[in-house]
């Protein structure tokens, strides 16, 4: 079972999770309540984390993460709600806030 080390609100939380666990699902079921999240659907970015160690221990970014995070993916930022855990990872949600990209206005006709 992979171990997740989470830095959040100035503390460190360590938990073992099942293979392919989604941490936001665990947060929603109060099995990992320390995880910060919002919509759970890749739209709000409130679940953003930075992977400190073990980036190969989570699934690769999907199209929602590419759309919402863009170049931030290269700096190790991920949407926690969009990844699943396969190996030990260390992530941080301390002092991280990235606003979702602004919606483009539709052209007026």
Residues at the site binding ligand FES, with contacts judged by CB under 6 A:
24, 37-40, 42-47, 79, 81
Tell me how far, at minimum, the Cβ of 69 lies from ligand FES, in Å: 10
Query: For residues 18 and 38, which CB has a smaller minimum distance to ligand FES in the complex?
Result: 38
Tell me how far, at minimum, the Cβ of 54 lies from ligand FES, in Å: 19
Query: For residues 24 and 91, which CB has a smaller minimum distance to ligand FES in the complex?
Result: 24
Tell me how far, at minimum, the Cβ of 103 lies from ligand FES, in Å: 15
Q: How far apart are CA 62 and CA 24, in angstroms?
A: 16
Query: For residues 71 and 108, which CB has a smaller minimum distance to ligand FES in the complex?
Result: 71
Tell me how far, at minimum, the Cβ of 76 lies from ligand FES, in Å: 16
Spatial CB neighbours of 98, under 8 Å, sequence gap ≥ 6? 45, 48, 69, 72, 77
Q: Which residue has the tokens 């099942």?
A: 18
Q: How many CB atoms lie within 10 A of CB 109?
A: 3
Q: How far apart are CA 47 and CA 23, in angstroms?
A: 10
The one-character DSSP state at 17 is -
Chain Cα centroid distance, residue 20: 14
Query: For residues 21 and 47, which CB has a smaller minimum distance to ligand FES in the complex?
Result: 47
């Amino acid at each position: 079972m992979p171990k997740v080390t989470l830095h959040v609100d100035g503390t460190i939380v360590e938990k073992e999770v099942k293979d392919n666990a989604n941490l936001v699902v665990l947060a929603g079921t109060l099995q990992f309540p320390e995880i910060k999240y919002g919509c759970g659907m890749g739209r709000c970015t409130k679940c953003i984390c930075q992977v400190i160690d073990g980036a190969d221990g989570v699934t690769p970014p999907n199209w929602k993460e590419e759309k919402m995070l863009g170049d931030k993916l290269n700096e190790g930022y991920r949407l926690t709600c969009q990844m699943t855990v396969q190996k030990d990872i260390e992530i941080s949600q301390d002092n991280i806030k990235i606003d979702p990209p602004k919606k483009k206005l539709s052209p007026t006709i």
